[in-house]
Chain A
């Protein structure tokens, strides 16, 4: 069942665009949490993966609140990949929130509000509730738009079961849902009366011969029996944040979809915490703690860290996974330096997983997986060259070259990428090293070169290694925050 679902999801992503970590389907561990060399899109990094597997087990058992895990390692050693792998291994039932450290700097929300929303998004609550749903086959659907194009739409739909048939008037919001789901006559749908959610179950068997060809994803279902309106006990999995939003607004459920949540009062949150605990005692609800993943955690500042210190101690806290690629650096918002840019007291509460750079063989394996993911057939020689490029420059750069080389190859109407294609794109696109070399050479010809000179003097005085210094200032977090 789960397998079938995964395949379906993959089919959709095929048509859509391909993300950087789309090839990862899990952590690639066996039953005893031993890491397989190449599995589920993960390569190498055995120790880190095994550690992540233990964390996943910890989350699944759900007993421990407020644990904090830090993934530390050099750039492009698979920190985010491990986090994505954890998310996949946990499955869709466990909430997994992924955010970047810089996301909290929003003008509309305070930093701590953004963080507490993220924390609450990562706690799931499974609630059993009786709701009224309408389930039936669409006989006829009419949506009238006013001629001017704006204003109220009027919608009518006729639904039937094997026993009965009824006309319904549709409200404005639900018309949008109908259009989004592309519902037409012959579809079997359910409508949740309270929330107005429309769900397409499939097409009715009686309409199976309407078209000669149907898409692979078309499911045929029986026309429902009995009454159109039914009371059903459904199990919702919602996050604490969603419950917050529903209760802080008069709009109810629909505010969730508009995304405009704003700040939520602490009193509302306290009330909800109490209510949820009450439900749990009554057996109506089950708390399902998940994972909050904060990438680039060094971008958080000292206020956030002290907030996290406190927030992690509450019994409603999720497991927090953080990732950073910094060594000993300044804590944002202060002048103090600390390992990973994280205060020692928070580091003390963490367990740290280290990722190590990939070996050449592993790099080749990753590139091979990426080629498959991007539907690119590559000649073994070209792959060897690409691996070489990856070890000399960076893995990310080599992955970029896959797509571009594939395009070049298609332009000469070939199906397999060969060494020439890779060489061509290597000369067309510069990697970071070559680009900075050129910059150094032709410094004076660029605009505002005198400022750069001044900065270079400073770095020389600082005496630290050139490359390292550059990444630090490049991150823009060396300056203390102004208040």
Chain B
């Protein structure tokens, strides 16, 4: 099976787990120095957020890179919030460059059957977009005929199963200034998700996860 590598990699990690509310949070510490954090919804067994921390070399503390779900700092993203404040308090919010808050924003979501990308702040009609699966790059390429947006979206989930993205699995949809790209999960990916859940079953948490996992796998 082609996802065995990924499974072994997860197995090699030192795992910690905790439950807060209806979320189970898992922290993986891999032997090569990388760290991964995941958040599982306990009702559905779906990953809601996944973030990576790679060791950086020069610049002190490394930052989390979000692979899946919303970035936490989006909540106080409000670009010109510090306008009214005096200079002293504004220095706390130092930044070098950032995309303005009207720029398109890409987020990824995973459901039981699909992988979903939402690109917010995209006002153009559906005909403008061209979404292609690029098997060579192992990515989905979004381009626009008016040359306003272009993005190469890598799909690490498919890479883990060793699959290239397939055009037939892509559907797009445009609504409320948002472009939604949906990719139907291949069977092998669903299988991998189930395997990962099995793996996590053995990770200790304060609460007993056994019953929950059983009911999820039964579905």
A contact set with B: CB distance below 8 Å: 127, 129, 134, 151-152, 154, 156, 160-174, 191, 193-196, 226-227, 236, 238, 243, 246-247, 250, 252-253, 279, 284-285
Contacts and interface: CB of A to CB of B under 8 A. Distances in A.
A164 B147 contact: yes
Interface stretch (B14-22, B87-95, B155-163, B168-176): B87-95
B125 to A, nearest CB: 17
A156 B98 CA distance: 10
Per DSSP, chain B at the interface is: loop
A173 B57 CA distance: 23
B217 interface: no
A219 to B, nearest CB: 23
A432 to B, nearest CB: 50
Interface of B: 56-60, 79-80, 82, 87, 90, 94-100, 102-104, 143-144, 147-152
Contacts of A196: 96-97
B103 A166 contact: yes
A131 to B, nearest CB: 9
A227 B97 contact: no
B57 A134 contact: no
Given A127-B57, A247-B60, A168 B99 contact: yes
Contacts of B147: 160, 162-165
Closest 9 CB pairs of A and B: A163-B150, A196-B96, A164-B150, A167-B100, A171-B95, A171-B96, A174-B96, A169-B100, A166-B103
A129 to B, nearest CB: 5
Contacts of A164: 144, 147-151
B97 A167 contact: no
Contacts of B150: 161, 163-164, 226-227
Nearest to A167: B100
Contact of A156 (B94, B95, B100): B100
30 contacts: A127-B57, A134-B97, A152-B87, A163-B144, A163-B150, A164-B147, A164-B150, A164-B151, A165-B148, A165-B149, A166-B99, A166-B104, A167-B103, A168-B97, A168-B99, A171-B95, A173-B94, A174-B96, A191-B96, A193-B97, A194-B59, A195-B96, A227-B151, A243-B58, A246-B58, A246-B60, A250-B60, A252-B60, A253-B59, A284-B57
Nearest to B95: A171
A252 B97 contact: no
Contacts of A246: 58-60
B85 to A, nearest CB: 9
A7 B57 CA distance: 35
A264 B10 CA distance: 40
Contacts of A165: 147-149
